[in-house]
Amino acid sequence: MKVRSGNTGSSFTLQFLTDTGEYPANATKVLAAAYVELGRDQECAVRFGEDAPTVSRKHAALERKGQKVYIYNLSATNQTLVNGRPVHKEWLLHDGDEIQLSADGPRMRFLVPSDSTAPRFTSRIRLFAEQAVRPYRLVLLALLVIFLVGAAAVGIQFTKVRSGQARLTAVAESVTEQVEQQQKALAAGNSVLVAEQTRRAEALAAVNRRNEAFQEALTRQSKIIKALVKTATARPPRRPRRSEPVRKPDAEAVAVGNTQGQVYAVRVFLTVRSQTGQPVDLTDGSRKSVRLKDYFLGTGTGFVLEDGRFVTARRWVKPWAYPEGEKDLLSLFANFVHHNGGRATVKLVATAPGGPELTLSDAQFAADSTHDQTVTGNFGFGEGKIVVAGPDHAHDWAVAKVPVTGLPADDTGMLRAAGSPVHLLGYEIPAGVQEGPVGSPTYTRRTAAPDVPDGGTVALRGTPFEVSTFGGPAYLVRGNKPVVVGLLTGGKDGKGVIIPINQLAR
């Protein structure tokens, strides 16, 4: 069992959320040591069995510094995640945080007990003795014996004190003298313990004999023992990390680790101007007028390739060409104004954890509009025309040049056979979330369907996707690195298809 010694005045609890051979679901483990390691190694305080193959031998460590607890990732091949986000160096834990050892590994919850539920002092000493390294267990056991003997003596003395105030004064003076003698005895016994094991045994026997006469108040005795434990224990040196066996790359770990700062959440803001250049208002009869200037439409997904191309779905660059879903009326109105003398424009603000913020306009993007369809008639705003995207989804892409580089791509058409596995990343962000950090994109694994609809796109099996994930990368894993082969799109029903990367403009 691997821990470091430290102050035993506080503790924390791990609640196991995943059923393993060592810990059933909802089981808890109270940890009192200042430094605890987690993994499959025999020395780990929180040890998992061979039924957790994605847990490294020395996978992670928890360390208490004062009143704060930090988690460290010790594994070179398997990640440690807190609330779904990877730990790169260290992470400050808070009550209720969820810890996961690798993407497919066991999950547990970090809990800080309240004052009413925290273990008693003797329980904390016992837990610390169980979780401490072997050279200090004897010291802790000796100190625990001292504490118990002293506590029994105090009980006897308190019984005698009840006989009268005069006797109580005499006993208090005797207790003070006994405490001073006991401090000297403990210091001598502690130095003997460090010298050698045989002398420790003799010193402990002498200390136990002296403690038969030891009488002191319980609170003062506790303070003495805590001070001695803090002084007598020392943090053991960190052992060299053992080399981990080479494991097959985990696609989700590749997605979260190697795409950091390269997959973006794209927030879309619409402005519609009249022929005079002034922003226009939209009223649908059931709500107040909406001023269409930097109006927030929602969030999609985009990504950057290694050649500096920013790729996203065309529906986020020209949203008025896709009048579907909740924005039907708004998109239809913007489309009508744009093609009948007015002007509709879009500003896209792209953000990613660890990456620069990019602000782009629809004019910076190249796209394929040759398959758009023109419709004329009265759409509730007067006679005119609108232009909408075709229904095949094969042209739902847009590309812009940006001053950053990103993911490698493969233009050879790697997704050929039905049933081929493909990995996807996209942001599942509610439509009304306009500001704040975006977190990490959602990872999904799907397989190619047997049919090939829409003139070259590849359909995907499985449940529908959130529309906000459209525009995200579809990739394969080569040599522990993601290689982009297309982008995800689909219709308002959420059925996903992939546009091969070789169909996009350079």
142-158: pLDDT as tens digits? 666 676 766 666 666 65
pLDDT band at 135 (very low <50, low <70, confident <90, very high): very low
Of residues 133 and 74, more confidently modeled:
74
481 in a structural domain: yes
240 in a structural domain: no
229 closest CA partner among 129, 122, 126, 140: 140
Q: Do β-strands 98-101 and 107-111 pair in parallel, antiparallel, or remain unpaired?
A: antiparallel
Q: Check which CATH number belongs to the domain holding 390 and give it.
A: 2.40.10.120
Residue 404: predicted pLDDT? 92
Give CA angle at 388 (385, 393), nearest 5°.
170
Same domain flag for 268 and 342: yes
pLDDT band at 415 (very low <50, low <70, confident <90, very high): low
Helix/strand number for the chain, H first, E second: 8, 29
Question: Per the structure, how many domains does the chain have?
Answer: 3
390 closest CA partner among 367, 366, 416: 367
Same domain flag for 181 and 307: no
Single out the residue in 57, 81, 111 at which a domain terminates: 111
Same domain flag for 312 and 358: yes
Same domain flag for 334 and 426: yes
Q: What is the average pLDDT score of the chain?
A: 80
* Exposed / middle / buried, residue 220 (Cβ in 10 Å: 0-12, 13-18, 19+): middle
Same domain flag for 424 and 470: yes
Single out the residue in 43, 77, 111 at which a domain terminates: 111
376 in a structural domain: yes
DSSP tag of 21:
S
Same domain flag for 475 and 363: yes
Axis crossing angle, helix 218-232 with helix 165-195, rounded to the nearest 10: 10
Whether the full predicted model's pTM is greater than 0.85, yes or no, is no
In a 13 Å sphere around the CA of 425, the CA atoms on its Cβ side amount to 31
Residue 4 has pLDDT above 60, yes or no: no
Residue 213: predicted pLDDT? 59
Same domain flag for 219 and 259: no
118 in a structural domain: no
CA 81 to centroid of chain Cα atoms:
5
What's the first-to-final CA gap in the chain, in angstroms? 57
Residue 390: predicted pLDDT? 82
Same domain flag for 221 and 148: yes
pLDDT in tens, 263-295: 999 999 999 999 998 988 887 555 567 888 999
Q: Out of 1-15, 178-192, 221-235, 467-481, which region has the weakest mean confidence (pLDDT)?
A: 221-235
SS3 state at 101: strand
81 closest CA partner among 102, 62, 95: 102
Residue 253: predicted pLDDT? 55
103 in a structural domain: yes
Neighbours of 170 (CB within 10 A): 12
DSSP tag of 47:
E
Same domain flag for 359 and 470: yes
Q: What span, in angstroms and rounded, lies between the C-alpha atoms of 394 and 66?
A: 58
DSSP string, 282-334: E--SSS--EE-SSEEEEEEEEEEBTTSEEEE-HHHHSGGG---GGGHHHHHHH
Residue 414 has pLDDT above 70, yes or no: no
Residue 228: predicted pLDDT? 54
Residue 39 has pLDDT above 90, yes or no: yes
Q: What span, in angstroms and rounded, lies between the C-alpha atoms of 303 and 259?
A: 9
Residue 2: predicted pLDDT? 47
- Mean pLDDT, residues 456-475 taken together: 88
Residue 109 has pLDDT above 90, yes or no: yes
Residue pair 398/314 in contact by the 8 Å Cβ criterion: yes
Same domain flag for 401 and 455: yes
Q: Out of 38-47, 289-298, 415-424, which region has the weakest mean confidence (pLDDT)?
A: 415-424
Residue 130 has pLDDT above 60, yes or no: no
Residue 13: predicted pLDDT? 93
Residue 148: predicted pLDDT? 72
299 in a structural domain: yes
* Exposed / middle / buried, residue 503 (Cβ in 10 Å: 0-12, 13-18, 19+): middle
Backbone φ and ψ of 441, nearest 5°: -70, 160
Q: Do β-strands 12-16 and 68-73 pair in parallel, antiparallel, or remain unpaired?
A: unpaired
Residue 152: predicted pLDDT? 67
Residue 247: predicted pLDDT? 41
Same domain flag for 268 and 326: yes
Of residues 421 and 384, more confidently modeled:
384
- Mean pLDDT, residues 97-103 taken together: 96
Q: Out of 28-32, 160-164, 364-368, which region has the weakest mean confidence (pLDDT)?
A: 160-164
Percent of the chain scored above 70 by pLDDT?
73
pLDDT in tens, 418-446: 567 888 999 988 766 777 677 788 888 88
Residue 411 has pLDDT above 90, yes or no: no
Q: Check which CATH number belongs to the domain holding 91 and give it.
A: 2.60.200.20
127 in a structural domain: no
Residue 59 has pLDDT above 80, yes or no: yes
Residue 251: predicted pLDDT? 58
pLDDT band at 339 (very low <50, low <70, confident <90, very high): very high
Same domain flag for 199 and 307: no
CA 393 to centroid of chain Cα atoms:
34
Residue 180: predicted pLDDT? 84
DSSP string, 370-385: TT-EEEEEE-SS-EEE
69 in a structural domain: yes
Residue 506 has pLDDT above 80, yes or no: no
Q: What span, in angstroms and rounded, lies between the C-alpha atoms of 6 and 18?
A: 29
Residue pair 125/8 in contact by the 8 Å Cβ criterion: yes
Q: Which domain holds residue 79?
A: 3-111
Residue 210: predicted pLDDT? 75
Residue pair 424/488 in contact by the 8 Å Cβ criterion: yes
